[in-house]
Amino acid sequence: MKSTTTYLLYSLMILAISLFAASAIAVVVEPADKSGSDPNIKLVNVPYSAVAKLPQIPATKTVKYGMDPEQYFLYWPAQVNDNTALEDAQRAPVIMIHGGCWLSAFDISHSIAQANGLAQAGHTVYSIEYRRSGETGGGWPVTFADVMLGITSIIEALPENTTTVNLIGHSAGGHLALLAATDIQRHLSLLGRSELRFNIVGLAAIVDIKQYALGQNSCQAVTSDFMAGMPDEKVSDYYVANPLNLALSDKALAQITLLQGDADTIVPISQARHPDVRTIIEPGAGHFDWIHPQSSAFQTLLGVLQ
């Protein structure tokens, strides 16, 4: 009798382990099968193709900040109607700078899903388009001048009761956001908005452009197009265009955070460093997780926004 009971208990244990293993496999496989269609599933190491498949809600309005066709920003109001716990005053607005290796081939459209996700989380969103290297006529320092002009135009459009602004940038856009952070107080003073405080977030940001230009991947290889030369050819330009060389201690800066995935093959984890910032490493996150609203990394981003 004892051996029979032992056998039955052993059989039940094997069955329980088998059921647990099957459910564990289902949890791993399910996100890939659903391709991000279920907002309750938090994805990891998202390919760009998954971002491209996401539906896009057009901006409520487009605002020109200059005469060139590429000088404009898109605006989405905070979506609070579907969430009674949110009010406009509870979430600071977000100014976005998209990435794309500074290249004309990658425009603002690839970041619209990210903007949608931020608006749905209760943030008013302003997303800046700018001239980029190549056919749109950008490159250093034109691209950065566009971004600063876009930021100042958005500041002028902010409600008077705004006290905090989130400035975020992805990849090359993170590089531009960090550069903007080094000189933001002077612009606020000129605009009569010295009371504003900025929360800066770099998403897989290129922090050391000099080192980045020496790399071999497809984005690193076109850094010289943006800078019109290699570091040994444009020494002074690389110095002033390198956030790692510049202090991020402006009194207008409330907080500066670098968010970086440890599975990113486009911007290496070694870029996520600066003496004046805090760095958060997202386990398993790739380069595009930050712009996919259903990823785990996107939830981390929401957590550091003000």
pLDDT by residue (tens digit) across 13-24? 333 333 333 332
Q: What's the pLDDT at 177?
A: 98
The pairing of beta strand 278-282 with beta strand 72-76 = unpaired
Helices 296-304 and 112-120: crossing angle in degrees, nearest 10, is: 60
Where exactly are the structural domains of the chain? 1-34, 47-304
Q: Is the pLDDT of residue 85 over 60?
A: no
Q: What's the pLDDT at 44?
A: 95
pTM: 0.86
Which residue do the tokens 């647990």 mark? 20
pLDDT in tens, 71-84: 999 999 999 765 55
Two tokens, residue 232: 């040994």
Q: What's the pLDDT at 88?
A: 45
Average pLDDT over the chain, rounded to an integer: 87
| pLDDT (mean) for 46-70 | 97
- Check: CB of residue 178 under 8 Å from CB of residue 145: no
Q: Is the pLDDT of residue 56 over 80?
A: yes
pLDDT in tens, 216-258: 999 999 999 999 999 999 999 999 999 999 999 988 999 999 9
Query: What is the end-to-end Cα distance of the chain in Å, rounded?
Result: 66
- Check: CB of residue 278 under 8 Å from CB of residue 257: yes
Q: What's the pLDDT at 106?
A: 97
> CATH top-level class for 47-304?
alpha beta
Q: Phi first, then psi: give them for residue 100, nearest 5 degrees.
A: 120, 30
